[in-house]
Structure 1
Amino acid sequence: MFTRTLDRLVNALSKERLSAAETDITTDGLDPVQHQWINTLQEKEDSIDSDSKAISELQEQLDEWIRPPVTGDKQGVRLCFQLKESEVDTDLLASESEVKPVVPDNWTLELLLQSEDDPSLVVEASALLESDHSTSKALARHLNCPTEILRNELKRASTHYPPLKRDLNRSNPTAIELSNSDAAEFLQEYADVLREAGFGVILPSWWGETPQRLGTRMVVSDTDDEFETTGGGLGIEQLCEFNWEIVLGDDTVSEGELEQLSTLKRSLVYFQGKWVSLQDGDAKSAMDLLHREEERTLEEVLQSDTEISDDAPNLPVVEKRLEGTFRKLFEQDYEEWVDEIDTPSGFDGKLRPYQKTGLGWISYLEDHGFGGCLADDMGLGKTIQVLARLVQERSLDPLVGPTLIVCPLSVVYNWKSEANEFTPGLTVHIHHGQNRMSGNNLVSAIEHHDIIITTYGTARSDIKQLRDIQFHRIVLDEAQKIKNTSAGRTQAIRSLSAHLRLALTGTPIENRLSELWSIMEFCNPGLLGSERQFRNAFSQPIEEQGNVEKTEQLRQLIRPFVLRREKTDKSVIDDLPEKSEKKEYCALTKEQATLYKAVVDEIFEQIEQSRDIERRGRILKLINNLKSICNHPRQYLNDDQRINGRSGKLTALDNLAEKIAANDEKGLIFTQYTQMAELLMEHLQGQGYRVFYLHGDTAKEQREEMIGKFENTDGSCLFLLSLHAGGTGINLTPANYVIHFDRWWNPAVEKQATDRAYRIGQENNVQVYKLICSGTIEESIDQIIESKRDLADQVLIDSDEWMTELSDEELRNLVSLSTDSLI
């Protein structure tokens, strides 16, 4: 009863799948009963109309077909196929005055037995059949019935390679004669099928060398009279001069030779001293391409050999040969096409050599109409390089239009201050605050100032006014602010109009490649295709599969438009002090450990009984509570009990603060929790330390005052900062200690915060301490962070959300308290 029901179920499912298939199953070469069986599966016939003997034979054939390979009686050998190519009279071809393709039709597929342990050991089937052959005698001593093994293997192979069936009835087949089309079919399809089924396959050496199929070479050059105009270039919308060449390997194929190939109806052709695989329509496609008249933009050219392109030729693009300016940009390192530009007149300061190169890079790109992303390490002076460019371009064209600077609120006055200091000849207008201008007054203010500074929030709020104004340039500072491609802020910024676009960021990719796409879409719209195209062509292959080829392809695409230098590179800057990083492991107090374990047990019981949104919410609550307990019980309990003696981290901080004060030095302390920052402020001031505290609600006047006092105060002092309020855009180089009291769990964000101190102007070695409670969720996450730093291998951690997708067992392993975590 059960068996009949199962048979019916399998039969119904098979028919449903096959009847829904878009293409018919090939039935060529099948006998009538096999043909009927296929038709019943596709519901083209109701039943098999044949005698019981034929049906029994079909059953045996199907049993043999689905039976897994039996290796136990093969005695360590397997059937191997060796394809031997047609012999070509090369002497005759050499005497011909004209190179012509030839199409020999005598291919041979030889049968061999091959050792499974050592594939280099093979015996021809013909040798097995000669009883007096030395090889046959030797095999007889080691194998039982080698000819029987050969027959059984041939029978098994015929289910994977149907042309073998016609040879099964031969008494002792040793080789199979193939036509030209049969050989092509074997090479292109069945060789891989047989390999996957466990058979040996030996192919001609040329099949594994450079692709022996017709391909295309795109030769691209710029139109000099349009492209080399200062500031007037069209960027990636520039029309290119290009033509197609048809190639075979490294050799160019002439139009006459293509005409000869197009008249042939063979799949394999001996041509120009090598075998060529001619796929259907290849020669015709090549002829059509040579006669195609078209124009393409640089954007289309760059995407021509990627999956972004919707207009790729039918033939593979095997080479893209760039000439002129394009070759400089895309095939050479920037040092080869960028010249240092001396500190321009009107710039009150001295540019370092790498900053002169940065100025040259910005100038070169902008003179050719391109946008760029200046991704120098934090502290290398991106602001300075931009201001130098603004002065330099006005020395060439005094009537150049205004530049809009969009930046976080925390650095608005830093931009104004540095502009006043280094470029006093440029006029600055700040568009921010409740009393900011609007309407015609705003338009007039923009027209009469060189630099307009606004915030991301203000730009979004005033987008209806700002997008109607044509700026000469838009500069995004901390450009990672537009990493969320669908956010209203990002959409608003992209809708602004400007001839030139420049992004500044020390972290062009914090976590996902989509962030890079968003920044590049701002700088050079269309370069990386649509977001969907980019995701399919690059993000998924790189982030999910670690695809090295795609990683290199993407690197080449963005190479000219992203300039990244690091402080640790002595060829960039050799007078920056050293930076040392240390993880300070802290043991929990007994109170912390008791609270930690109780919270895990209590909330975990709730997690196990909840689903979906409710479960995710409880996991996030668990994580936040555990992080609070690791910091200090008072942060979790919100009590008014004593501070001292209750937290292992606080004890570690006390030791560091004592060391800083003893050496008359200064330190930065970062935490992501306002409540914890206030608790630390109370504690440190109670210990007699001079402490400043900067958070998101600090007024700009108070912010500037505190930064000034910290910089100018003689003696030791500490600066408490919330990670986001103090993590970007401010310079705190008097500090030579950086302490991360709790972790953001994103290396890029932590590095930004550290670089408030480790940047140009720092004269002392910087010591970075990251406090981690051992045996807790903090140590578990830190280990994960260390294993996921390379985006090309795996995506970095951005937030706590990913933990909500863990199974109960995985989550418990992550948060469980280790027994050696107590003080």
Structure 2
Amino acid sequence: MAQRGQRQSGATRTAPRTQRRARDVDNEGIIPVLARAVREVEAAAQRGRVRPAGRTKFQVVALLVREERARIKADGTSSEAQRAEQLKRLDGIATILAKTAARDTSLLALLGEDAVIPESARSLRREMLEAAGIEQAPEEDAPAEAAAGPAAATERRVVPQSVVSRQLANPFLAPDFASAVQHRPRTGRLASWELLGPLFRSFEYGGDSSCMDLPDPTSVRVPGGRELMRHQAQVVAAAASGHRTFLLADEPGLGKTAQALLAAQAADAYPLLAVVPNVVKANWAHEAELWTPGHPATVVHGDGHTMDGFADIVVVNYEVLDRHVGWLGDLGFKGMVVDEAHFIKNKSSQRSQHVLQLSERIRARTMRPLLMALTGTPLINDIEDFRAIWQFLGWIDEKKPRAELMASLDETGLTPADSGFYAAARASVIDLGIVRRRKVDVASDIPDRRIADLPVELDDEAGRSIRAAEQELARRLVSRYEMALATRTSGATVEGIDHDLVRRVAGWEREEAAKAKAGENVFGVMRRIGQAKAGLAADYAAQLARSVGKVVFFAKHVDVMDAAEETFARRGLRYASIRGDQTPKVRQKNIDAFVGDPEVAVVVCSLTAAGVGLNLQVASNVVLAELSWTDAEQTQAIDRVHRIGQGDPVTAWRIIAAQTIDGKIAQLIDSKAGLAARALDGSDEEVSSSADVQLEALVALLTDALSTSG
């Protein structure tokens, strides 16, 4: 009896230990942390609109679910059954996220590839990973726009230790006595004229191609047996002859990075500062090693702990300028390059303010520094996209042209009241350093490209839901139009449709939609269209890969990329992925896999994260699964393939959802494609320089609805 009792007692103790181990396994890692968090957000949504803290938690859970899913799929140490069980638990969390977003549709905006990840979200992510016992990688670069204000930005500023060492080694910057010669402001006959508006309009009117006179190319020694093309050598020769400001606006794919690096070498503009998008900063260091190996480059990551403060070339991304703008302005740079300079077109953004501040401080320290703005798409929405770029280059200030441009305008003998002023003013600006060459003119060996629209029918439940959402949006627009018409106090009457009122109503709707970015508005409808097209677009890309070789697949939203990758996996196609949340090392690994591994058939790219700075010319077919809002973004994506070195004709297959607003938006994007051509390439194509695709799409939707109802 005693022995039996002891055995029973032992059994009683053993069973709980087994159960406890099972429970411990279930409660290990990040999944249980995410499960608890998502239940809290779900409960908040059931009580009403989710508050800011809950929205942050929703976004972080979605990010970590995405990361954990990718980790599990790549985990070769777990069994198939273990991976399936973990993925099943993640699917449960994802389902709760989806149901929560259905209750509060404003949460959908937090799932976008281009959604801002504030510092509060980054902090919560760190806390969740710590709670899961996961060792964290070094902190990623935080967006500058997440700053709470000037005081917060100042508090975050850092000075890397290697920079301190450089300053201690040489505490006195070599004075540039030439900089003491100050150009006095001219008080000529144009002093009382408002000139910036006419200067911008001079490009709106078009004219000859926009390229300054460039010298004949000189022989440029390039290491490793590489050769410069003639158009590249011309810019280097201009820098060698003393020209110091360039808006290098060559079409994408014509080698602007190499031109900038070699121009800096020709001008001896060291130390050189390069401000670039985060996704290309590693590539800049690589290009510097190729083209100017005698001038070491360093990349600033995060707080700059790993940078070399004694390097000749300092590469920093826009997102961390707020931390480093202090010491960068004091280092004594003799040159500054801003890559993808259209990123600074919004002068109210912190990134623009920091870039302009740095260029001012460099000009104050150095007489005639080398300043270069690089962009293949300098104009995106409006001719005034030039403003911040010209100010960075020192051609204008906040209110008027600076001395050199003012002197040139004065020499024309014309005023904005004279008919010949605009052509002369345009020439004056171009002579300051606008360099624009087209592929067809300077790289005739690059094959042609074409954009082919591929309509697809959405005849399932998703398609019916999208059409119903469009109809609801149209009904709301009509209702607002009729209400505005009924409450009009001016007494004016218009026969038929009042098109001025239509535009005002569309403008009201667009403003509200831009704030919400979710729900039954134009943004929500377009996102749903993208989701519905995802599988069809991926199927077509898979067919292309089987028949013609490697394919580049572009999408705007993460869920569309996820759906495409699942389709490729089901079809047995190997793929690589380029996304905004990847570390530079992972990103480069995926690029190398697509470019170098013949078995990797497709690369799935984010429009925002992979649309610049990549060379994917190993492929000649591009699938655009979702439409961009600008022709510039679409062009940048295609030009990852259509560039120097491409040997085959390039085709971009644009997937269009038939019988939806998708087709109209494609037409509007194409109608805006002439802005840069008209302003810079001498095209006579008539375009509206300030047309807004979102606004025009709503105008078309409302006009069609009124015509039908009438």
TM-score by length of 1: 0.51
Residue in 1 that maps onto 2:423: 552
Report the CA distance between 1:745 and its aligned residue: 2.6
Residue 355 (structure 1) aligned with residue 254 (structure 2): no
Contact 1:463 1:492 in 2 (8 A): yes
Residue in 2 that maps onto 1:630: 529
Give the secondary-structure state (helix, strand or coil) at the position aligned to 2:651: strand
Q: Which amino acid aligns with 2:337?
A: V
Give the secondary-structure state (helix, strand or coil) at the position aligned to 1:464: helix
Aligned length: 464
CA distance in 2, matches of 1:530, 1:340: 34
Residue 415 (structure 1) aligned with residue 284 (structure 2): yes
Contact 1:746 1:797 in 2 (8 A): no
CA distance in 1, matches of 2:460, 2:401: 51
CA distance in 2, matches of 1:352, 1:529: 39
Residues 694 and 302 of structure 1: CA distance in aligned 2, closer, same or farther (over 3 Å): farther
Report the CA distance between 1:377 and its aligned residue: 1.0
Contact 1:308 1:528 in 2 (8 A): no
Contact 1:479 1:505 in 2 (8 A): yes
Report the CA distance between 1:575 and its aligned residue: 1.6
CA deviations 1:506-541 (Å, max 9, x no partner) are 011111122111101101242794499x9xxx9xxx
Report the CA distance between 1:383 and its aligned residue: 0.8
Residues 521-532 of structure 1 mapped to structure 2, 5 A cutoff: 521-526=391-396, 529-530=399-400
**2:539 aligns with one of 654, 663, 667:** 654
Residue in 2 that maps onto 1:456: 318
Report the CA distance between 1:493 and its aligned residue: 0.9
Residue 749 (structure 1) aligned with residue 633 (structure 2): yes
**1:477 aligns with one of 339, 342, 363:** 339
Residue in 1 that maps onto 2:438: 566
Residues 717 and 526 of structure 1: CA distance in aligned 2, closer, same or farther (over 3 Å): same
Residue in 1 that maps onto 2:263: 389
Residue in 2 that maps onto 1:700: 584
Give the secondary-structure state (helix, strand or coil) at the position aligned to 1:588: coil
Give the secondary-structure state (helix, strand or coil) at the position aligned to 1:679: helix
CA distance in 1, matches of 2:517, 2:474: 8
CA distance in 2, matches of 1:390, 1:347: 19
CA distance in 1, matches of 2:511, 2:245: 45
CA distance in 1, matches of 2:445, 2:701: 51
Report the CA distance between 1:474 and its aligned residue: 0.7
Residue in 1 that maps onto 2:250: 376
Task: Give 5+ residue unaligned stretches, structure 1.
Answer: 1-230, 240-294, 311-330, 395-399, 539-546, 634-646, 818-823
**1:588 aligns with one of 458, 461, 479:** 458
Residues 309 and 412 of structure 1: CA distance in aligned 2, closer, same or farther (over 3 Å): closer
Residue 509 (structure 1) aligned with residue 379 (structure 2): yes
Q: Which amino acid aligns with 1:338?
A: P
Report the CA distance between 1:424 and its aligned residue: 1.5
CA distance in 1, matches of 2:588, 2:256: 21
CA distance in 2, matches of 1:528, 1:349: 42
Residue in 1 that maps onto 2:220: 343
CA distance in 2, matches of 1:673, 1:374: 31
Q: Which amino acid aligns with 1:520?
A: W
Residue 685 (structure 1) aligned with residue 569 (structure 2): yes
CA distance in 2, matches of 1:337, 1:603: 53
Bigger Rg, which one: 1
Residue 788 (structure 1) aligned with residue 672 (structure 2): yes
Report the CA distance between 1:301 and its aligned residue: 7.1
**2:370 aligns with one of 477, 482, 500:** 500
Residue in 2 that maps onto 1:639: none
Report the CA distance between 1:559 and its aligned residue: 1.1
Contact 2:449 2:650 in 1 (8 A): yes
Give the secondary-structure state (helix, strand or coil) at the position aligned to 2:655: strand
**2:554 aligns with one of 670, 694, 703:** 670
CA distance in 2, matches of 1:807, 1:772: 17
CA deviations 1:624-662 (Å, max 9, x no partner) are 3322343344xxxxxxxxxxxxx5x74454234213322
Task: Give 5+ residue unaligned stretches, structure 2.
Answer: 1-175, 198-207, 363-368, 410-417, 481-504, 679-686
More helix by share: 2
Report the CA distance between 1:599 and its aligned residue: 1.7
Residues 362 and 371 of structure 1: CA distance in aligned 2, closer, same or farther (over 3 Å): same
Contact 2:211 2:436 in 1 (8 A): no
CA distance in 2, matches of 1:511, 1:614: 16
CA distance in 1, matches of 2:626, 2:421: 36
Give the secondary-structure state (helix, strand or coil) at the position aligned to 2:674: coil
Residues 452 and 336 of structure 1: CA distance in aligned 2, closer, same or farther (over 3 Å): closer
Residue 616 (structure 1) aligned with residue 512 (structure 2): yes
Q: Which amino acid aligns with 1:308?
A: L
CA distance in 2, matches of 1:372, 1:471: 17
Contact 2:223 2:290 in 1 (8 A): no
Q: Which amino acid aligns with 1:340?
A: P
Q: Please give the root-mean-square deviation of Cα atoms over the aligned residues, in Å.
A: 3.9
Q: Which amino acid aligns with 1:402?
A: P
Residue in 2 that maps onto 1:778: 662
Report the CA distance between 1:302 and its aligned residue: 11
CA deviations 1:706-759 (Å, max 9, x no partner) are 001111112561111110101011111111111111100311110011111111
CA distance in 2, matches of 1:508, 1:614: 25
Residue in 1 that maps onto 2:294: 425
Report the CA distance between 1:346 and its aligned residue: 5.6
CA distance in 1, matches of 2:382, 2:580: 26
Residues 758-769 of structure 1 mapped to structure 2, 5 A cutoff: 758-769=642-653
Q: Which amino acid aligns with 1:697?
A: D
Residue in 1 that maps onto 2:618: 734
Contact 1:348 1:421 in 2 (8 A): no
Give the secondary-structure state (helix, strand or coil) at the position aligned to 1:683: helix
Report the CA distance between 1:803 and its aligned residue: 5.7
Query: % of aligned pairs identical?
Result: 24
CA distance in 2, matches of 1:579, 1:807: 29
TM-score by length of 2: 0.59
CA distance in 2, matches of 1:303, 1:470: 35
Residues 717 and 479 of structure 1: CA distance in aligned 2, closer, same or farther (over 3 Å): same
CA deviations 1:682-728 (Å, max 9, x no partner) are 11211111111111101111100000111111256111111010101
CA deviations 1:763-789 (Å, max 9, x no partner) are 222111111122321111222233333
Contact 1:585 1:774 in 2 (8 A): yes
Contact 1:671 1:723 in 2 (8 A): yes
Q: Which amino acid aligns with 2:703?
A: E
CA distance in 2, matches of 1:371, 1:590: 56
Residues 689 and 455 of structure 1: CA distance in aligned 2, closer, same or farther (over 3 Å): same
Report the CA distance between 1:480 and its aligned residue: 0.8
Residues 532-551 of structure 1 mapped to structure 2, 5 A cutoff: none
Residue in 1 that maps onto 2:694: 800
CA distance in 2, matches of 1:811, 1:487: 37
Contact 1:475 1:503 in 2 (8 A): yes
Contact 2:236 2:259 in 1 (8 A): yes
CA distance in 2, matches of 1:597, 1:690: 34
Name which structure has the greater RCO, CA cutoff 8 Å, separation 6+.
2
Contact 1:408 1:455 in 2 (8 A): yes
Contact 2:555 2:561 in 1 (8 A): yes
Residues 233 and 758 of structure 1: CA distance in aligned 2, closer, same or farther (over 3 Å): farther
Q: Which amino acid aligns with 1:671?
A: A
Q: Which amino acid aligns with 1:424?
A: P
CA distance in 2, matches of 1:714, 1:576: 23
CA deviations 1:13-61 (Å, max 9, x no partner) are xxxxxxxxxxxxxxxxxxxxxxxxxxxxxxxxxxxxxxxxxxxxxxxxx
CA deviations 1:306-329 (Å, max 9, x no partner) are 64299xxxxxxxxxxxxxxxxxxx
